[in-house]
Amino acid sequence: MNGTAGTIGLTLVLIVLIIFVLVVLVKSVRIIPQARAGVVERLGKYQRTLNPGLTILIPFVDRLLPLLDLREQVVSFPPQPVITEDNLVVSIDTVVYFQVTDPRAATYEIANYIQAVEQLTTTTLRNVVGGLNLEEALTSRDQINGQLRGVLDEATGRWGIRVGRVELKAIDPPHSIQDSMEKQMRAERDRRAAILTAEGTKQSQILTAEGQRQAAILAAEGDAKAAILRADGEAQAIHKVFDAIHKGNPTQKLLAYQYLQTLPKLADGSANKLWIIPSEVGEALKGIGNVLGTTTPDSPSDGPEAVTRT
């Protein structure tokens, strides 16, 4: 009985020793992931900062604090009411991009760096936007972002944090101002549409007038060329007739007869009120009279005679 009890007791002691060794090993060996950092305290005092990889701690003496993320973090803060210079309350959403650069400072210099960044962003935003009117606040986002980043980066540097970017997600003015802005934008769009329509009408009228002018010029040139061609044709016809008459050696009787046939054509037309009879017609009539055995009054030989037909 005593031997059995001793064996059982020895077994329990071995089990306890094995469990103790396992606990010590678990507490002694730490693996730090990539882009993480750990702060080690020895007997409650800062001892060192652990980098990614395998490390050994002294059990029950060293304490590893929660790991810190060294990657760039993005934090979106809820909308904050901000009063502009012209006493309008606007709601502004902000996004901050920051990164922990000093794990020791981020652990011991500030209790909660995310909350601190949020409060500092809100305060700085009110200071910056408070010096701008609504129109400047809506159109100067890059300027506001630059000022916020400069102030935040300077203030958070001693906390072991680097602020990379600050962006304004949205700037929402009051609803009454939004309605006025929409009406103004609608009026501006209508004005631009009217200007474009007027410009289009103007260009259309200019092109139409230019086309009509070119058409009139072309028509006038065509009429001029046609008149020239008709005149040339008539001149050639007269020249051919004149040549034919003179080549045929006509007598005075034949010429007088041709003159008599031409006179009705000269008087043809309702607009003819006055027509000219050359002096040669008088000579022709005299010849005809001699032929017929009658006498006609002498016609002047030095100029045309005017006969009026009513």
* Residue 80 placed within a domain: yes
Contact between residue 118 and residue 98 where contact means Cβ atoms under 8 Å apart: no
| Nearest CA among 34, 172, 169 for reference residue 97 | 169
**Are residues 142 and 223 both part of a single domain?**
no
* Residue 3 placed within a domain: no
**Are residues 215 and 299 both part of a single domain?**
no
Which of 68, 85, 104 is the last residue before a domain boundary? 68
Contact between residue 77 and residue 126 where contact means Cβ atoms under 8 Å apart: no
**What pLDDT, in 10s, does the model give residues 109-148?**
998 988 898 899 888 888 888 888 888 888 888 888 888 8
**Are residues 87 and 158 both part of a single domain?**
yes
Contact between residue 119 and residue 212 where contact means Cβ atoms under 8 Å apart: no
**Are residues 76 and 96 both part of a single domain?**
yes
* Residue 125 placed within a domain: yes
**What pLDDT, in 10s, does the model give residues 182-198?**
777 778 788 888 898 88
Which of 248, 266, 282 is the last residue before a domain boundary? 248
CATH number at residue 146: 3.30.479.30
Statement: the pTM of the whole predicted model exceeds 0.85 = no
* List of residues 6+ apart from 33 with CB closer than 8 A: 52, 67
User: What is the mean predicted confidence (pLDDT) over 21-49?
Assistant: 88
**Are residues 259 and 221 both part of a single domain?**
no
Domain region containing 270: 250-308
**Are residues 244 and 214 both part of a single domain?**
yes
